[in-house]
Structure 1
């Protein structure tokens, strides 16, 4: 019942209850344009299953269109968003190392986790041979106690949940903080169908179906904030039709559902570090990897593609499979196994997916989900730019591992299907012009002043960094604005 969800690296026999039943939550795609939509419908959502990597964007990302002429700029710059990154990072807790890179701005970091000896070798090789940076992953896992949450004790595996709340999820952090205000009403099992509007075209209520009882319910408010994830929020908007909004609420521009993006993956390399054979790993069960920030199309233009990519990876002792070829038994055998245990090293890239109108989602005209709500038809593909990027990603990965002394290198250059990065963004993009965008810089709908969309839907371009901390920074700024507007009775 989970043919799509099981494609996620986090979905296994211990965690599959956190992922949707694909038979209850279908969607459709063209046969030649597959999209992998990974979802979790429960309190906490995908914040329970995410990989917790948190990297700021910069003006290389937000103003990319001004640099290379493709797409539109974000209607906000880094200097404006930086204070809200600060707020979000201090609240959720990010461990990391400052590096002073303009393309990867530093943040409010807890102490960094340590690199392994293999990662130290790669770091030195990148610096000495290429002038590139390797840093420990900037990760939403505590290395110091924070707001009643204890620091991580490296028990793992994180994908099965964190009893101590040491990694950020809304269940361990945001929801308890909201509950403590005394003003939170949480309604679980609410399958939202659409937003209702009043005669003036403003949001009046949200309509939902109880997942268990199948009863239809309606909740009212002065403002509506959609934060159901990129595609689900857009699905709700497309399904919110009326005489005023015949093609979906806030869609006078006609771009709602369009410019869908995900990070392109599939370029990377792995190998063995012979110099470390038999060296023990003193790192422990570290719940994090390393990051190599973008180095393409910063000051010099690459001849084959626009924008850039970064790598995530690690260097670790391999499992014990090599022992099958070692004769003997007892203490001497065990010591020989330890002395010959190899170290592996691998890096894989995440690249920017250019925003294109022809990558889109729309309501399927035939199929509905288990609650009778029209499902999405998703049509997306990577273009020549992403394919050229993957080739460069693979070549550069091999080059860097060789510089580190790796052997038995295997190179990967197969382009993944869109969706597998689970970084889907776009479809209700922000912009300065209401004729070509859905939201303004406060994630407020141009057409409907009391409708906000505070997830990845508003991204005008995908950048190459994991998006969640930017979702949070944008939402923090948007909430501040929403409160001001409500207090001034402008909403």
Structure 2
């Protein structure tokens, strides 16, 4: 396609890429969005049954989705939204598996996002002040508050104002009602253990229509659409950003080199501003390809030596259970689709990172439990106990930044001739201690509420797929490997000093300030909350600053 003159290149079109394009375009900047995958229609992207099931079978038999099929979302969404692992390979040590879920299409992983939108608190931004581990963020909640608010209003996020110091309230639409069994669960936990259960915050399940074909949680249905409506944005799809090229003085980026996936031709795209939003690991690969150590004298300088180090993901564990039904046998979702499991149609036990919660803990930092009851029941005749409803509790646990968990460049290349990411990441003692506490807490909550813990295969008849379900990472005794939760962050941490961080407090590379790194790669610590809303708020803040007229 012919490319018109543009001033900024946004690499990636997912949750952060859409916000970057929207923020810049609405400020009058001409933007090119570079996306590694195709530009699909809503019908192509979302698919439907039985076609999605046939695609899953093909994806598993062909090896396209050997790793990504471990994630539950793969079994409820169009598998076309999960990248072909043969086309986008990566390497890990044999004893350190990493389950990398990749969304290579316009919209990226926002099209498979669960849609939970929790703010971080200053207990996360300034955690090092409390326990002395790692580094604080160079920003706090007040810095992001106006951006959180703007995005919550744009996206019409649902939830309550709960008045919790460790989980700041947002500007939210009314929460979805709890299911009767969830209300009973909440009351039992409060009565017997004094625990607080809140409505989850996020998006209701998408109901496609002619006027709203895309989920509002996707960039295609929100920020990217608004960006395109300005007339200032073009999308270059099926092109992989390979590296940055710098001006001779190496103080500013001059262009982005992209590789056409169909022809393998390389093209140099000049611009004045680069915003890196490719998702954490893909962004780190691009930056490593562009840094002096790997790109020679033409690369940018990372004075900290920290690029690629400190990769994190949320550590988690999951338990299914059943509880006596208060709503009969028929699946509620057949009667009322708004009761379907979603970011807003669920609940949280937000233990968090507040000092009083961790006073007697055997580990650093905090976690929360996400759960739901009676939101994903199959027809009653598929259930082993038809008069009971299904529930689950899943832990979200903060992972400590550790330089040994990192992304480097492999000596092997992908089909486009670009070095693959080499990912080294494993859970440490702190994560194992946290998971043991999660497991005890989950078991206690289920028991107190009168539930019965069991595997999903012991709760539901699963013809044909039962062996796959019983071997899935989510149902094993120990925590699934890193990457499973699809909340990977870190590797290009933001900070106050160039000798200890990769980007500054405005997300600019220290020695190359017209390059912004705004996705999860810039996180110095992981927090326990779902990260996407915070990534989007960071992106909006950084892009607004980038186009603000210089003072003086």
TM normalised by structure 1 equals 0.87
- When residues 287 and 243 of structure 1 are mapped into structure 2, their CA distance, relative to the original with a 3 A threshold, is closer
Find the counterpart in structure 1 of residue 310 from structure 2: 259
Q: How far apart are the structure 2 equivalents of 1:398 and 1:244?
A: 49
Q: Secondary structure at the match of 1:405?
A: coil
Matched, 1:306 2:364: yes
Residue 323 of structure 1 and its aligned partner are, at CA, apart by 7.2
**Equivalent of residue 111 in structure 1, options 150, 155, 174:** 174
Q: Which runs of 5+ in 1 are unaligned?
A: 143-151, 326-336
Aligned to 1:432, the other structure's residue is in SS state coil
State which drifts further: 123-132 or 245-254.
245-254
User: 1:167 Cα shift?
Assistant: 2.9
Deviation, 1:409, is 5.5
SS in structure 1 at match of 2:371: strand
Aligned to 1:383: 428
State whether structure 2 residue 348 is matched by structure 1 residue 348.
no
CA positional deviation for 1:212: 1.5
Show the 5 A alignment for 1:53-452. 53-141=116-204, 152-153=206-207, 164-201=213-250, 202-242=252-292, 246=296, 249-266=300-317, 268-274=318-324, 276=326, 278=328, 281=332, 284=337, 285-288=339-342, 289-295=346-352, 298-299=355-356, 300-316=358-374, 318-320=377-379, 341-365=387-411, 367-408=412-453, 413-452=477-516
> How far did 1:245 drift?
6.7
Alignment RMSD (CA, Å): 2.6
Q: Alpha-carbon deviations, 1:311-370, whole Å to 9, x = none?
A: 111111743466798xxxxxxxxxxx9xx52122221111011000110010002x1111
Distance of 2:302 and 2:272 partners within structure 1: 20
Q: Does 1:465 align with 2:529?
A: yes
SS, match of residue 94 in structure 1: coil
8 A contact 1:253–1:437 mirrored in 2: yes
CA offsets, 1:148-182, max 9 Å, x none? xxxx55x79xxxx9953343211111122111212
SS in 1 for 2:348: strand
1:196 and 1:207 in contact (8 A); partners too: yes
Residue from 503, 509, 518 that aligns with 1:454 = 518
Moved more, 133-142 or 22-31: 133-142
1:328 equivalent in structure 2: none
Deviation, structure 1 residue 255: 0.3
Whole-Å separation in 1 of the counterparts to 2:278 and 2:546: 18
Q: Is 1:311–1:347's contact at 8 Å kept on the other side of the alignment?
A: yes
1:131–1:345 Cα change, 3 Å:
same
Q: Counterpart of 1:239 in 2: which secondary structure? A: helix
Q: Deviations over 1:83-114 (max 9, x none)?
A: 11111111222111111111111111112111
CA distance in structure 1 between the partners assigned to 2:294 and 2:399 by the alignment: 33
Cα contact 1:274–1:407 (8 A) shared by 2? no
Change (3 A) 1:324 1:370: closer
Alpha-carbon separation, structure 1, partners of 2:244 and 2:534: 26
Q: Give me the whole-angstrom Cα distance separating, in 1, the residues matched to 2:481 and 2:234.
A: 38
Say if 1:12 and 1:320 are closer, same or farther in 2 by CA, change over 3 A: closer
Contact 2:255/2:268 (<8 A) preserved: yes
Could you tell me whether the CA contact under 8 Å between 2:136 and 2:524 is conserved in 1?
yes
Deviation of the 1:296 alpha carbon: 5.8
Cα distance per residue 1:23-49 (max 9 Å; x no partner): 111110111111111101111100111
Normalising by structure 2, we get a TM-score of: 0.78
Give the conservation status (yes or no) of the 8 Å contact 1:189–1:211. Answer: yes
Name 2:59's counterpart in structure 1. none
Between the aligned partners of 1:241 and 1:359, the Cα distance in structure 2 is 19
Q: Distance in 2 between matches of 1:244 and 1:346?
A: 45
Deviation track 1:95-150 (CA, whole Å, cap 9, x = no partner) reads 111111111111111121111011101111222223322122211348xxxxxxxx
The residue matched to 2:235 in structure 1 has which SS? coil
Structure with greater proportional helix content: 2
Deviation string 1:239-279 (CA, Å, 9 cap, x unpaired) is: 0145897496342211000000000012x433222363837
Q: C-alpha separation between the residues in 1 aligned to 2:420 and 2:429? A: 29
Change (3 A) 1:349 1:164: same
Q: Where in structure 2 are the equivalents of 1:6-45 lying within 5 Å? A: 6-12=69-75, 15-45=78-108
1:451 match: secondary structure: strand
